[in-house]
Structure 1
Amino acid sequence: MQIYKVGGAVRDRLLGKPVTDIDWVVVGATTEEMLAKGYRPVGADFPVFLHPKSGEEYALARTERKSGRGYGGFTFHASPEVTLEEDLIRRDLTINAMAEDDQQNLTDPYHGQRDLEERILRHVSPAFAEDPLRVLRVARFAARYAELGFKVAPETLELMRQLSESGELEALTAERSWKEISRALMEDQPQVFIQVLRDCGALKVLMPEVDALFGVPQPEAHHPEIDSGIHTLSVLEQSALHKQPLTVRWACLLHDLGKGLTPEEEWPRHIAHEHKGLKLIKAVNERFKAPKDCQELALLVGQYHTHGHRALELKASTLLELLQSFDVYRRPQRFEEFIVACEMDARGRKGLEQRSYPQADYLRGAANVARGVAVQPLLEKGFKGPELGEALKRERLKALKAYKESAAS
């Protein structure tokens, strides 16, 4: 029995990056031997075991063969005869197909170290094209390592293109897709993930609503970058630069989908794109079964982001309606995430990345004013039920009018 550290742990050590998860592969062992040593089985489809002390995953060396569609369409064969090289060749990228023994001696049959040095994301073998999930994984790695100068090899991008055109991407489950998408959006350069998906034709399969934004012009006065797709990438980039959570990044990606529905004769204006985009945002949310908080914020940002930009001009009554829509009294964090998503939208424009956004503090102040209206005096006056709600609304409107006047003076 020989045990090797494999995959990301080896890659990240060679890159000088912190190693978090460690995967191990065991060559020359049987399931019975692993059980006898106290390892606990966890793999339903292939033999993976948890170490009796560390709890880390140890997998028996295995080969795989395509047997159906999608990510799960494989049959696996594990036996003591499977070599380390046979196990490594089934992996996605050369930089993930290296192994180390306990002396840090490197096994690198597919030249992963060379590709690390040359900053190339290259597939290990033609079997890469058998697994559609790898399209998303490679795009995610491109986003993760973009800051180091990594690029997808042309021949790998071509295989990704073939996969995108094959219909295999449609076989991915919502859960698997969302896992990759959400992880990619939390990388330092998530816009690279979207760009790579577009470069290989996967974006128009997975998110045609986002793909449709590219080539759609906007008014140059407000959008020096002009192209709606480029703007979306820039907004996503800003959300990562400002370390925003997944909810905000997802909303930033989807906020302008309505612009893809604007008839060409109306370009570059996009009248009511906020409302038109809601059905598209809903469709993308449902397609990937995004978490509820991501779904809600994406819809609210899509509908109200222009309200955010015009916050200083809004009537007090419109401002109150906006605050009510977000339920700022019970969900203050959601409104804060809306504010920062609007700010990312304002900064995701060519040459305007450093602009100030006074609307943010104005909206925060308005929310504090509305929340500050006390209920107790109204109860003491005898208001209850629906009447209490209306009285509270009147008092909040009065407070917002005073706030608006003081802000203008």
Structure 2
Amino acid sequence: MQDLTPEKALTYYLVGGAVRDSLLNWPYHECDYVVVGSDVDTMISLGFQQVGKDFPVFLHPVTKEEYALARTEKKQGKGYTGFVCYASPDVTLEQDLLRRDLTINAIAKGVDGNLVDPYNGQEDIKNKILRHVSPAFSEDPLRVLRVARFAARYHNLGFTVAPETIALMQDISSSGELNSLAAERVWKETEKALAEQHPATYFDVLHQSKALTALFPELDAIWQDDNFACKQAAKAALIAASSLSQNIDIRFAAMCHAITSNSVNEINTETNLVKQMCERIKVPNQTKLLAIQVHQHVKQILDVQHLSPKAILTLFNQLDIWRKGEFFVQVITTCQAISLASTENKDHFTQGENLLKLAEQTRQVQAKPFVEQGLQGLEIKKAISAKRLELIEQSTLFQIQ
């Protein structure tokens, strides 16, 4: 019969996010454990399943929670993967905690409920400080993004990044190590940050640590102090989008609308900058498409009451509202956030509501009646387009000029 509690034969501690968030009264969903004084053979003999090749992590045979052997790490290459792991029964809990990024993440909890806090994480929680554990923090460039993400997560609790930690993050940015990060990892951290309650803080901290220059130069250009209006537009739109929706596509697109350029052909060039950034950091296609389409059409949508019926139909065609009704709703929600972010547009977003109503009306036009009339091929397409234009012309939703 399988032992349902094989961990009783081990010395282990709850570590990481579960300990941190329980102290913060913050919800958490995963529990990770570190095992001290054991080895691979012992873990396997107790029924734990080994996963991971770079360091010994095991899944509990019943709960499937992660148990990792206490380990140390030594930097021997570039980037966040250039580490050699040493796991042995002689590695202490304090040595394992020393390799972690922030003091608030370097607290362990024993089975007796007592906390082991060798690096004063509880004090930093009390003072609401995100502080690195040791100078080894600078060996992993991914930690720059992680700290910025934690700053976004705990912004409403009043957390800030310690000045000395910001200095280390600036050193990492200046070293060129951020360039070693895989684009997918950059987006993964950014995606998580966009899902937080205060995602704008993520980009603020990246700018403060000079990481925007390396990772998001298109955003860095508008986050500069001498570009205050664009920075405020980007942040305000992201904040407004976060209040309207939890959808990260909408939040990302709202922020990207403020990307600007000094080119004469501004709209195309600026949209290409959005596309360029999305492709470089491997933004998913749907997220990228929304950011590009909003950037390209936001001015038309915000000023739709001054568009001609033909221009509105062209807008509908370009956004393909006939097949992408849900996507069009996302476009409108994003534009609503951008409108709310403007000091000149605090009123109810009637443009968006009316466009959605008009889109629903024109989508009712189908091919069947024209087929029954004997029309074929291109004739049907022209007839559908003409009927949709007629509905737009007859609409009282806008004061068409």
**TM-score strictly above 0.5:** yes
Within the candidate set 14, 21, 26, 1:17 is matched to 26
Report whether the alignment pairs 1:29 with 2:31: no
> C-alpha distance in 2, partners of 1:100/1:129?
26
> C-alpha distance in 2, partners of 1:272/1:401?
31
Partner of 1:71: 80
Partner of 1:240: 242
> C-alpha distance in 2, partners of 1:321/1:21?
49
What 5-or-longer segments of structure 1 have no aligned partner?
219-225, 264-270
Q: Point out the more displaced range, 150-159 or 365-374.
A: 365-374
Within the candidate set 249, 252, 272, 2:254 is matched to 252
> C-alpha distance in 1, partners of 2:248/2:207?
21
- The answer to whether the Cα contact below 8 Å between 2:49 and 2:60 also exists between their aligned partners in 1 is yes
Give SS of 1:227's match: helix
Report whether the alignment pairs 1:312 with 2:305: yes
- The answer to whether the Cα contact below 8 Å between 2:234 and 2:255 also exists between their aligned partners in 1 is yes
- The answer to whether the Cα contact below 8 Å between 2:354 and 2:397 also exists between their aligned partners in 1 is no
> C-alpha distance in 2, partners of 1:234/1:297?
18
With over 3 angstroms needed to count, the CA separation of the structure-2 counterparts of 1:164 and 1:238, relative to structure 1, is: same
With over 3 angstroms needed to count, the CA separation of the structure-2 counterparts of 1:44 and 1:256, relative to structure 1, is: same
Question: Counterpart of 2:388 in structure 1: which amino acid?
Answer: R
Q: Point out the more displaced range, 32-41 or 383-392.
A: 383-392
- The answer to whether the Cα contact below 8 Å between 2:301 and 2:351 also exists between their aligned partners in 1 is yes
> C-alpha distance in 2, partners of 1:290/1:171?
18
> C-alpha distance in 2, partners of 1:343/1:216?
26
Within the candidate set 178, 189, 204, 1:169 is matched to 178
- The answer to whether the Cα contact below 8 Å between 1:214 and 1:227 also exists between their aligned partners in 2 is no
> C-alpha distance in 2, partners of 1:59/1:25?
5
Give SS of 1:123's match: coil
What 5-or-longer segments of structure 2 have no aligned partner?
1-9
Tell me how far 1:406 sits from its aligned partner. Answer: 5.4
Report whether the alignment pairs 1:346 with 2:348: no
Report whether the alignment pairs 1:50 with 2:64: no
Tell me how far 1:365 sits from its aligned partner. Answer: 1.0
Partner of 1:331: 324
Report whether the alignment pairs 1:389 with 2:377: no
Deviations 1:171-217 (A, max 9, x none): 00011111100000111001100001001111111111111113588
Report whether the alignment pairs 1:297 with 2:290: yes
TM-score by length of 1: 0.92
Within the candidate set 362, 372, 383, 1:380 is matched to 372
Deviations 1:278-328 (A, max 9, x none): 111111111111111101101101110101101121111111111111211
Within the candidate set 363, 370, 376, 2:362 is matched to 370
Question: Counterpart of 2:371 in structure 1: which amino acid?
Answer: L
Q: Point out the more displaced range, 87-96 or 97-106.
A: 97-106
Identity %: 42
Question: Counterpart of 2:65 in structure 1: which amino acid?
Answer: E
Tell me how far 1:378 sits from its aligned partner. Answer: 0.8
> C-alpha distance in 2, partners of 1:320/1:152?
49
Tell me how far 1:353 sits from its aligned partner. Answer: 7.7
Question: Counterpart of 2:339 in structure 1: which amino acid?
Answer: A
Tell me how far 1:27 sits from its aligned partner. Answer: 0.9
Give SS of 2:365's match: coil
Tell me how far 1:272 sits from its aligned partner. Answer: 5.7
Deviations 1:7-32 (A, max 9, x none): 11000000111221111111111111
Give SS of 2:86's match: strand
With over 3 angstroms needed to count, the CA separation of the structure-2 counterparts of 1:141 and 1:168, relative to structure 1, is: same
Alignment size in residue pairs: 391
> C-alpha distance in 1, partners of 2:344/2:310?
31
> C-alpha distance in 1, partners of 2:65/2:53?
17
Within the candidate set 260, 263, 267, 1:274 is matched to 267
- The answer to whether the Cα contact below 8 Å between 2:13 and 2:109 also exists between their aligned partners in 1 is yes
Report whether the alignment pairs 1:40 with 2:33: no
Within the candidate set 80, 89, 101, 1:92 is matched to 101
Query: C-alpha root-mean-square deviation of aligned residues, in Å?
Result: 1.7
Give SS of 1:18's match: coil
Matching of residues 156-195 of structure 1 within 5 Å:
156-195=165-204
Question: Counterpart of 1:140 in structure 2: which amino acid?
Answer: R
Matching of residues 75-154 of structure 1 within 5 Å:
75-154=84-163
> C-alpha distance in 2, partners of 1:33/1:80?
11
- The answer to whether the Cα contact below 8 Å between 1:100 and 1:106 also exists between their aligned partners in 2 is yes
With over 3 angstroms needed to count, the CA separation of the structure-2 counterparts of 1:96 and 1:361, relative to structure 1, is: same
Tell me how far 1:273 sits from its aligned partner. Answer: 3.5
Deviations 1:118-165 (A, max 9, x none): 000000000000000000000000000010100000000000000000
Give SS of 1:277's match: helix
Runs ≥4 in structure 1, deviation > 6 angstroms?
none
